[in-house]
Amino acid sequence: MFSYHSVLFARFVLGFVEAAFFPGALYLIARWYKRNELSRRTAYLTCGSLISNAFGSLIASGILGMMEDVLGFAAWRWLFFVEGGVTILFSILAFFILPDYPETKDITWLTPAEHALAKWRMLEDNGAISPAKPTTESDNDPLKRSDAMAGLRLAIMDWKVYYLAAGLSLYALTLSFHLYFPTLTATMGYGPIISLLLCVPPWMAAAAYALWLSSHSDRTGDRCMHIISSLAIGTFGFLLSTSTMNVVVRYFSM
């Protein structure tokens, strides 16, 4: 049997290695797409999390209900086997599927013209070239290590980086309710199956709204008001859920 502290340590290690995934994914996306294309592509990534929240509880309930003592393992262990195994499988596939950076010379899945266009788009978006200025071989060279270190120093010395880090930390704390979403729906008085089914519509609606909002943000070129408006809706939902016991209103707040 695992002790409390050993499980806590395992969870810390899991979170430690997982922490780099989302910013790393955003960095890779940002190397292929221009700034006015990033919001919708980021939404595609985050919608995977929203949809998994919608159906994760149903999958977990099925495993916990049917896999107890199968091959001598407890059902909660099967939950880790199945979900962890699928994650490992996709990580292996991603190793061969995910593209490298546009500056990489041996990209075989693009034609030479497409490869040149991918590099030219990013150079133009970053201001390294203009449409009237022809590219040179030096323009297409990857960033030098000295340039990367200079950028790292600028990031460390910029107060806005720490302000953003603090804001995202508080943002992640407020989003922790999604871990207990089935528990929240269960407080409305329904049974386990109905409570789990009630988890699906809010997350599907959130995914649809995220796709629309991100597309509109890219189309208008605005980020600030799109972020503020969506956070304001979330704040309203929190206040609504704590101010009434009406089942319909509480479910709408979710």
Band of residue 1 on the pLDDT scale cut at 50, 70, 90:
low
**Average pLDDT over every residue of 5-13:** 87
pLDDT at 131: 52
Asked if pLDDT for residue 148 goes beyond 80, the answer is no
Residue 127 is assigned to a structural domain of this protein: no
Residue 123 is assigned to a structural domain of this protein: no
Tokens coding 2:
């695992």
Neighbouring residues of 213: CB distance < 8 A, sequence distance ≥ 6 = 43, 226, 230
> Distance between CA 166 and CA 103 in Å, rounded?
33
Residue 242 is assigned to a structural domain of this protein: yes
> Distance between CA 37 and CA 30 in Å, rounded?
9
> Mean pLDDT for the chain?
83
State the SS3 of 61-74: HHHHHHCCCECCEC
Band of residue 163 on the pLDDT scale cut at 50, 70, 90:
very high
Nearest Cα to Cα of residue 175 among 11, 38, 46: 46
Tokens coding 116:
């040149």
Select the more confidently predicted residue: 120 or 67: 120
Residue 109 is assigned to a structural domain of this protein: no
Select the more confidently predicted residue: 30 or 105: 30
> How many domains does one find in the chain?
1
Q: Which of 56-60, 75-79, 183-187, 233-237 has the lowest mean pLDDT?
A: 56-60
Asked if pLDDT for residue 212 goes beyond 90, the answer is yes
Residue 220 is assigned to a structural domain of this protein: yes
Most confident listed range (6-10, 145-149, 213-217): 213-217
Residue 6 is assigned to a structural domain of this protein: no
Give whole-number Cα distances, 4 to 7, 77, 84, in Å.
5, 16, 21
Residue 176 is assigned to a structural domain of this protein: yes
Q: Is the overall model pTM greater than 0.85, yes or no?
A: no
State the Rg of the chain over Cα. Answer: 23
Residue 44 is assigned to a structural domain of this protein: yes
pLDDT at 143: 47
Asked if pLDDT for residue 162 goes beyond 90, the answer is yes
pLDDT at 217: 92
Q: Residue 171 sits in which domain range?
A: 32-101+142-253
Band of residue 142 on the pLDDT scale cut at 50, 70, 90:
very low
Per-residue pLDDT tens for 28-79?
Answer: 999 899 988 889 899 998 888 888 888 777 777 778 778 888 888 888 888 8
